[in-house]
Chains A and B, each alone.
Chain A
């Protein structure tokens, strides 16, 4: 039964990843033909960590902030869809995934218009008299929103929201209404029913959503490219540059593996702390 799955994993995932290992320990012989020689260059890892460590940290920080904000938005949204959506529930879920019908790249480009210096969002903030205050709080840079950390995080947040909402809705769908009725019979108020029934039973969905959003966010290349400036580039942009511009395939491979290891360690750590699998019905 496992054979097709294992074959799939071996051919399309394990083998390419394994091929990266010797490449990451090699030295370029001919820069332009990408010919490399395996020389146990562990120093490749140390070099990329030294040079690009701050960008790695920035990537994880952006991903964590975007995911945290995503949870703050996605949880009430999922709750509203599940418990107050009524017959509109399928439509509301469809609306959540609607942006996915447009190219990821196009969505990022559209954001450049929304967040631009003359864009509608800054004009609205101006009209509300909030621009100066947000500037003082450091959320804007020189009155600008586009090409700042805030715009990259907003872009990540927007694109990751469905990954958070959908697992949460699925998890909440599995909460039997009778449980809430039983809790009410036992004199639990609305807050009690939420904290003692809904919250614990929705945690698998929350955990799955967090994993589904954190991992792609940390490796995102599009949002920092279009919504960020040079001080907001993330680690995938660096890998792309190492491979395509600097023609340093071994270092690109080392950085890729390093990113994979760090993310895997993070996932392993979260699972040890009780993060479960996607709560499929």
Chain B
């Protein structure tokens, strides 16, 4: 199985709000949420600048340093880890004037959704990753090798992947949900949301129509577009969201929505009535990947970072915190060996079994022209 696809934003809304406020009012320069300092040699040559989604890595806990700090202590490389990507399209809008003008970005490594990585590869705006210096790259799980967004596997390594499916509050729905059709049940009118991430929302609806999402066509998508538009017009769909569906779920504004697997695992700690289900017609599998922009200043540090996070012991720490599907072979065994995390090793949303994998589908690539057409149509639905 190869992965393509998507997810645009992450994690708890108020943290994202702070980022959004900063982005809107203060400018990206103030968004550099520096990681803990204090490696043995914090010099310009020993520096690594990373941009990623908010709360997408394990952080420092009392007596248990997070991945960034452990890496700094082990290598002496100072990491500036910024959680400044709220939405991949907005991030693209931010970086593209520099990349298109041949200027260098300050980032050495960026975590972006695979379809955006594919776009950047196509535009020639990425450098190949220094994989020759990343022996742990051999730990990449085989289903993720030579993916459709980067067939040569020169430019990207997956960070995490996950599933887009249905999230619901069983108390609010009063019953188990099983299919995408349940989202259109008039009983839930005005208490349903869908994702602004087009490939996830459209992918799930197309699967419900029995369409092949691995080779998406404009014609095949029409029934899904029309169904979505009708549901929006009639008020069945309350909102189209990024990660903010989480707050609406916790606040009781939503009974059900399209959401992402890892989020629910953590939300359920606050709201035990929440459930995640891969619809009968199938779920959408997405991946976020690490890429190196053209002219990145510290490729050696990038190589060391990639090698570090592809060590199963380190990757297990990240997986335990974010609860998405780790791309690193051996993570399950590390988690299973520790009584504190053994339960996670049995979680089918983190480690899909064969039966689950058969139900997961990958949204195939769209040509530049197709993408423009799809996004215009989708935007006109989501914005009324």
The residues of A with any CB-CB pair to B shorter than 8 Å are 31-35, 51, 55, 103, 105-106, 109, 112-113, 116-119, 141-142, 144, 146-147, 229-233, 237-238, 241-248
Contact = CB atoms under 8 A, between A and B. Distances in A.
Most buried by A among B190, B253, B383: B383
Contact of B251 (A118, A241, A244): A118
Nearest to B93: A244
A244 B90 contact: yes
A117 B252 contact: yes
B384 A31 contact: no
Given A112-B247, A147-B238, A147-B253, 15 more contacts: A32-B96, A33-B100, A55-B384, A105-B17, A105-B25, A118-B251, A141-B190, A230-B382, A230-B384, A237-B383, A238-B383, A243-B93, A246-B372, A246-B376, A246-B379
B79 interface: no
A55 B190 contact: no
A230 B20 contact: no
Contact of A116 (B14, B21, B251, B376): B251
A147 B252 contact: no
Contacts of B379: 241-242, 245-246
A246 B93 contact: no
Interface in B312-364: none
Given A116-B253, A147-B238, A55 B383 contact: yes
Contacts of A229: 235, 237-239, 384
A246 to B, nearest CB: 5
Contact of B25 (A34, A103, A237): A103
What range describes how many residues of B lie at the interface? 35 or more
B372 A31 contact: yes
A237 B232 CA distance: 17
A258 to B, nearest CB: 17
A159 B319 CA distance: 42
A154 to B, nearest CB: 16
B189 A142 contact: yes
Q: Which 5 A-B pairs have the closest CB atoms?
A: A33-B100, A118-B252, A244-B93, A231-B384, A233-B383
Contacts of B21: 103, 105-106
Interface in B227-243: 232-233, 235, 237-240
Given A31-B372, A113-B251, A246-B379, A105 B232 contact: no
A142 B123 CA distance: 47
Nearest to B194: A230
Nearest to A222: B24
Nearest to B235: A141
A247 B372 contact: yes
B384 A117 contact: no
Contacts of A105: 17, 20-21, 24-25
B89 interface: yes
6 contacts: A32-B368, A34-B96, A105-B25, A147-B253, A229-B239, A230-B240
A164 B100 CA distance: 45
